[in-house]
Chains A and B, each alone.
Chain A
């Protein structure tokens, strides 16, 4: 019964229901894999006792015939999700020691459906980063490796991506503010979907930029993404921005038939300096969808170029406001004070010690763009540009486009440390293909479509109409089938 950790979520579900595998056996296989993968630094808080307890309860439930799809499935939870009684610190020193008294809605829905949490996953601090190098836990490492270098699994959901790609869990939760599910999925040969803004409750997820943040699943296949997304979605009275809309049966929508769909190829995504391999993969993806019966048309999203600068005004502005709560009073780290220090020194020292460099930078940028005299020039202008970016998408959807195909990232995974001396803006360019989707609140999915010349996975992104995750998954499922990506990283850890 070895290698149970390598099953897909769908395979595990079917075998659990058939009674030929138990959740305890699945969970033990994953716990063994996790203990053997410390070099990847993906799981940063392990919860084996809790996992086995939940696995036993899941087995009992399955025996009684009460088994939702996620029942008994071992999953990893990104450290951004508050989990009751289990360390939850958004990979930040400022939340050192924080053990929430409550469970985020999304992780509670998974728990209540019988999913088994194996532990908490590494990420960039407060989800700010594209390489998992801003984490207080240290870098997460990509299981894909082509030479002596350790590669980034991407970020911010780098631990989630590494854990799924290395078969440490069957699936994981991620969150995506500017590409933090889709970019790491692309870097690790896994599938990640960011649903429409409002599909998943944000309650209990440490807030970064509230108008952009969404949770989503990170999985081995599109089918698994459909199954897990279903369990994560739904209206939550505790999040006023969560949508009170019915959640369709996403898996049932994977019919394999996309004949008659119209797929747009946005010309503005052909950026200068795009590697030839990525351009070729993108063209192949379009051909595959055409061969499957879709119509491929060129489209224009004219404000694409302004998405990154608009994002890097709006996201830090919201972050500076959201992160004001980390003040050393109610939870987490408090600096040791010198004699005579007052409350202002307490705040300033606590935040200087607790926040890493990138978080400090973004909080200060956000503070600046919201400050008197600059609010209109930066923040309001960015929000107007955001309206125009959304209007670009509204226009092509109104013209009959069903989904949009783009590359997921401008490169394959790069080496950890290679961007250490780069301008912060260079790192931000990782999000160039993904950030528009957050600004417009749309669903987007990244899926592996091929390997580059070095042997590293490359991903494509499909962007869907609002609330049409089911149709998006259907198209992605067809593309996945034709692309036939089956490579796995060779185990070196």
Chain B
């Protein structure tokens, strides 16, 4: 049985960039523990010498010519931005 403690839950939430209020951490830790316990059934499987799957269909990925095929669509790129200014995506100040 996997146990996720509150500190680990807090750390995972931060790594995932999701704000989780402190009062919700116990429930989150419990959910994560249950799901991880379920995943631990995989430990029963003998995977000695088995390669992890990288591609489900044994096909070579197609290559294409490295050409510019579009561009000059700045207004369309920015059209859905919550905050776009002077042709840029705007975000809160990153550097003091």
Residues of A within 8 A of B (CB): 97-101, 196-198, 211, 237, 240-241, 243-244, 303, 305-306, 308-310, 312-313, 320, 324, 327-334, 337, 341-349, 351-352, 355, 360-361, 363-369, 371, 378, 380-388, 390, 423-425, 428, 439-441, 466
Contact = CB atoms under 8 A, between A and B. Distances in A.
Contacts of B62: 237, 240, 244
Contact of A387 (B36, B51, B73): B51
B38 A425 contact: yes
A312 B36 CA distance: 9
Contacts of A428: 38
A371 B80 contact: no
A320 B16 contact: yes
5 contacts: A241-B61, A306-B44, A328-B82, A385-B45, A425-B38
Nearest to A379: B52
B80 A390 contact: no
A341 to B, nearest CB: 6
Interface string B54-78: 1111010110100000000100110
A132 B82 CA distance: 28
A310 B79 CA distance: 39
Given A197-B57, A342-B94, A364-B32, A306 B82 contact: no
B59 A243 contact: yes
A381 B42 contact: yes
Nearest to B21: A352
B50 A384 contact: yes
Nearest to B94: A343
Contacts of A312: 35, 38-39
Contacts, number: 169
B45 A388 contact: yes
A367 B16 contact: yes
Contacts of B83: 334
A382 B80 contact: no
A211 B45 contact: no
A464 to B, nearest CB: 14
B53 to A, nearest CB: 4
A390 B53 contact: yes
A330 B18 contact: no
Contacts of B77: 101
Given A99-B79, A197-B57, A424-B35, 19 more contacts: A211-B56, A241-B61, A305-B41, A310-B42, A330-B80, A332-B80, A337-B92, A345-B92, A360-B18, A364-B32, A365-B32, A365-B35, A368-B36, A371-B15, A378-B39, A378-B42, A385-B47, A424-B34, A440-B56
B93 interface: yes
Nearest to A211: B56
Top 8 A-B pairs, shortest CB-CB distance: A441-B56, A383-B52, A334-B82, A331-B80, A348-B19, A384-B47, A352-B19, A347-B17
A244 B61 CA distance: 10
Given A341-B92, A384-B51, A387-B52, A306 B45 contact: yes
B91 A329 contact: yes
B68 to A, nearest CB: 14
Interface residues of B, number: 51
A364 B11 CA distance: 10
A331 B81 contact: yes
Nearest to A97: B80
B31 interface: yes
Contacts of A308: 38
A367 B15 contact: yes
Contacts of A363: 16, 18
Contact of B28 (A241, A364, A366): A364
B38 to A, nearest CB: 5
Interface in B1-41: 4, 8, 12-20, 28, 31-32, 34-36, 38-41
A131 B18 CA distance: 24
A377 to B, nearest CB: 8
A342 B39 contact: no
Nearest to A351: B18
A387 B48 CA distance: 12
A378 B37 CA distance: 11
Contacts of A97: 80
Nearest to A362: B35
Nearest to B82: A334
A348 B53 contact: no
Contacts of A383: 52-54
A332 B17 contact: no
B42 A309 contact: yes
A324 B83 CA distance: 19
A342 B52 contact: no
A368 B32 contact: yes
Contacts of B19: 345, 348-349, 351-352
